[in-house]
Amino acid sequence: MDKLMLFFQRRDGLSSSEFHRHYLETHAPMATAWARVIHRYVVNLTDQPPQPLDSLGFTHRTEGGFDAITEAWVDSVPDFFDDRKCFADPEQARKMAADHHSFIGTMHGYRVSEELTDHRIPAPAAGRTPGVKLVVITWQSDTGASPKAEPLDLRAPATSGQLPIPHRYVSNRVIEPITPEAPHVGHIIEITVPTPRDLSTVLAVDAVSSLQGSPSLTSSWHLMSEYVQRPAMRMRIDQ
């Protein structure tokens, strides 16, 4: 099982709201209905205002103008890109590709490994997850460098004890890019909290300052909404 993280930028001529609506109402239902190799599917949309991050002192920047970051747990990367394995019907593959190109302009994809997970809120059900999700991406300036082997932990020390703020923290280390010309990314951090203000409690100021001041890394901070399209791993019954 591979976890993929896909960065999407909308096609020219589409507004952000048009992109978000089409993704949730048309494209995501196609993927969950037809793509046999996808076992879990989560869409994160940049539909949150950045002002809360600015007020907390975090440098908000949308690298590449991403409109969505999608998480997909798949049988394997080769199977994900193989229409014969991914779809039962070639017509489904054709329609899926046509819809993709109708609203998506740029896509960058990565295979990742969840190096650190801390779940202090219930597992998300299908639909809009309550609260907000902060996604932190580290962009490596040296394309020949490898990301740190250890998980990237930005949590405050109290997190290891009895932190009063319910949250979910996931540190993903990028194993490899899966699309051509994908920017060099090291880690992708996901932090889900009830409100943006809660980030000031969950995050460690020193760790954040160190990351934002790193000479070898650039970090972008994206406040997003999480929409779970397929909430749990499913068993393959068509093999």
Measured on CA atoms in the order 109, 110, 114, 115, is the torsion positive or negative?
A: negative
pTM assigned to the model = 0.87
Give the tokens for residue 73.
């747990």
Per-residue pLDDT of the chain (239 residues), as tens digits, is: 999 999 999 999 999 999 999 999 999 999 999 999 999 999 999 988 766 666 666 655 554 578 999 999 999 999 999 999 999 999 999 999 999 999 999 999 999 999 888 888 887 888 999 999 999 998 876 555 555 556 788 888 765 555 578 889 999 999 999 999 999 999 999 999 999 888 888 888 777 777 776 777 788 888 899 999 987 655 443 33
DSSP annotation of 235 reads -
Cβ burial 49-64 (10 Å sphere, 16+ → b, else e): ebebbeebebeeeebe
Residue ranges of domains in the chain: 2-230
Q: Topology of domain 2-230, per CATH?
A: Alpha-Beta Plaits (3.30.70)
